[in-house]
Chain A
């Protein structure tokens, strides 16, 4: 039972990070029907920028409380990623908005490679350590272990997702986003500044990615210029699993993927008597994805146009 609970915690923490990144994919897809493949790299940039700030602060002012240093890292990383998202949308996607759908997909991959290489030039190919500034508290719950960092990730992720739902459902900007998602032409006829709405979508998605990037680097204790690739791929799969374009779907898909990976890696070896080992965890996760898409091509929650964000 304690192992089951531990895998549940592992899966939920991993899944909530996937969900945050998946939201960025799904929001952009909902409005533009564009898969922003550079989104994983924005997550990486968030991690790298915050680490640079945190590293410098931890050296310059070692007496500062860790949470404050982390906050400063976030406070720099979020605006940087927002600006980056805005810039990418303006330079790489907006000029191609009326081009065939393949063109922006290719520029998205191009942007992702450019960002990786910029990060490699600035920070090198080395793994960068996350300084030990956070309290390393650990709590035993029913035989399972949960750390302060894990609790912080879970709580923060839930709060951010609630805030996002509020923004989309209750604010003027949210209404404009939903309108643009339904029909760009009609929305603009109704006086919605479509360009502004699209730019805002990228900015919000990038902010979420920045937070997710900081979470990942704090959780695993390191960052690397290549870390965005696999994370982005997993998050994208999570978005598709839940139903791309659907906010709730991205959250559900992220959590599910995290849980599937965690339980898959934890139990697959014992269940198959060692025939399949834990190196099949990704295969297992993607197998579930394929199975869901075969029976529900629109994803678990579907991508119903009216509801997509």
Chain B
């Protein structure tokens, strides 16, 4: 290559680079899609995982080529950091709207997703969260809110039903920590357990700061339940399990995703053995496309943390709606989202009227030999 031609190449490259932000690039239309998750702070590893899941799907879609309305479309990911903070979440949501994204994958936490959802709704930008589970997210009545993850109410329903039908618990005691999460989950468990023919013999309460449950457990012990359900987090669940053993209670312990953590086993030690808890979604190896996704993802980004398969599916669901509408205009493809019926890595994705996934999976785990072992996965709401 002579010096002369090299000069032209540089000029051409500069011209192409200069057009980056314009909608037209070599006849291709650039469409911006937002992704928001905590990319800094204690949950940064989870946030990066979501970003990578969304990016993997986006790269695949671009490589396969996407044509909407007769024009070739190039997708571009705008990834933002909400630091799992509700205030930051609204700021970055507004920023994405101002930049002109046509859809958003995110956010990661319910606390950040809920305030941000109003901004997307006000600007008619569809949003699919891969991981927010709080019922309130889709309960606001916004037309733009969707999620591909099982919500807390669905999880509670599965748990209550499972306790009675699968674990054979006739008498059930329910404790919650009076937080929005714990109480919400416990209420759903109570409803479902009653509906399945179980007898809720005790409903007790504690706080998310307590460590002493001897008094309420003693009162519960007097009613001889087969199972104790706790709606709350692991710092309470662990001493509760220990104190159940201390009181010589034979009842099984069942918790939600707040208790299904490695920390629970660390805190409760040998007493954790046999404890049951659930987590929304599927373990990776039980997902229909789990192993293929794992190979693709880990070859590129390293170990899967948690929600990246859901972020990956969320991106495909969004683009699937665009394809059916033959447009990336939010006003047009938003109407297609409720009709979604997509077979993703995590399973079949369809939405109900509120934007919640129908038949979302809940997986039950039990502590065996000091580790959480998968028991089985249950589809919610048949």
B-binding residues in A (CB < 8 A): 2-3, 6-7, 10-11, 13-14, 126-127, 129, 131-132, 136, 138, 140, 145, 147, 149-150, 216, 220-222, 224, 226-227, 230, 261-267, 269-270, 274, 277-279, 281
Contacts and interface: CB of A to CB of B under 8 A. Distances in A.
B238 A267 contact: no
B205 A277 contact: yes
Interface stretch (B132-140, B266-274, B318-326, B345-353): B266-274
B239 A145 contact: no
A263 B222 CA distance: 14
Contacts, number: 96
A89 B203 CA distance: 46
B203 A270 contact: no
Contact of A14 (B178, B206, B214, B235): B214
A266 B205 contact: no
B269 A132 contact: yes
Contacts of A227: 211
Contact of A129 (B178, B206, B266): B266
Interface string B244-279: 011110000000000000010011111000000000
B263 A127 contact: yes
B75 interface: no
Given A14-B212, A266-B215, A278-B219, A221 B247 contact: no
Tell me whether chain A's interface is mostly helix, strand or loop, or mixed. Answer: helix
A269 B218 contact: no
A278 B246 CA distance: 20
Interface of B: 178, 202-207, 209, 211-212, 214-216, 218-219, 221-222, 234-235, 238-239, 242-243, 245-248, 263, 266-270
Contact of A278 (B211, B216, B234, B242): B216
Contacts of A6: 218, 221, 247
A129 B263 CA distance: 9
Contacts of B222: 2-3
Contact of B267 (A11, A14, A129): A129
A156 B178 CA distance: 35
A13 to B, nearest CB: 8
A157 B214 CA distance: 19
A7 B218 contact: yes
B246 A279 contact: no
Given A6-B218, A129-B267, A265-B216, 5 more contacts: A220-B239, A266-B215, A266-B219, A277-B203, A279-B207
A26 to B, nearest CB: 22
Contact of A221 (B178, B248, B267): B267
A127 B239 CA distance: 11
B247 A145 contact: yes
A263 B218 CA distance: 10
Contacts of A149: 246
Contacts of B246: 138, 145, 147, 149-150
Chain A CB count within 10 A is highest, among B209, B218, B243, for B218
Given A140-B248, A222-B235, A3 B218 contact: yes
A262 B211 contact: no
Contact of B215 (A126, A230, A281): A281
The B interface, classified by DSSP as helix, strand, loop or mixed, is helix
Q: Lowest 6 CB-CB distances: which A-B pairs, in order?
A: A279-B205, A265-B215, A10-B214, A220-B211, A3-B222, A266-B219
A12 to B, nearest CB: 11
Contacts of A136: 245
A127 to B, nearest CB: 5
Given A220-B239, A222-B238, A266 B211 contact: no
A193 to B, nearest CB: 41
Contact of A224 (B178, B212, B235, B268): B235
Contact of A127 (B204, B206, B207, B235): B235
Given A227-B211, A279-B178, A221 B218 contact: no
- Which residue among A127, A131, A224, A274 has the maximum number of chain B CB atoms within 10 Å of its CB? A127
Contacts of B239: 220-222
Nearest to A282: B207
Contacts of B234: 127
A259 to B, nearest CB: 10
Nearest to A146: B246
Contacts of A278: 204-206, 215-216, 219
21 contacts: A6-B218, A11-B215, A13-B214, A129-B238, A129-B267, A138-B248, A145-B247, A147-B246, A220-B243, A221-B269, A222-B239, A224-B235, A226-B209, A262-B214, A265-B216, A266-B218, A269-B219, A270-B219, A278-B219, A279-B178, A279-B207
A147 B244 CA distance: 12
- Determine which residue in B202, B245, B246 has the highest number of CB atoms from chain A within 10 A of its CB, and name it: B246
Given A3-B222, A127-B263, A277-B203, A221 B215 contact: no
A222 B212 CA distance: 11
B218 A10 contact: yes
Contacts of B263: 126-127
A10 B270 CA distance: 22
B215 A127 contact: no
A264 B215 CA distance: 8
B266 A277 contact: no
A227 B239 CA distance: 14
Contacts of B245: 136
Contacts of A140: 248
Contacts of A262: 214-215, 218
A3 B214 CA distance: 11
A145 B270 CA distance: 19
Contacts of B211: 216, 220, 222, 227
A20 to B, nearest CB: 15
Nearest to A149: B246
Contacts of A269: 202-204, 219
B178 to A, nearest CB: 6
Nearest to A17: B212
A3 B221 contact: yes
A245 to B, nearest CB: 27
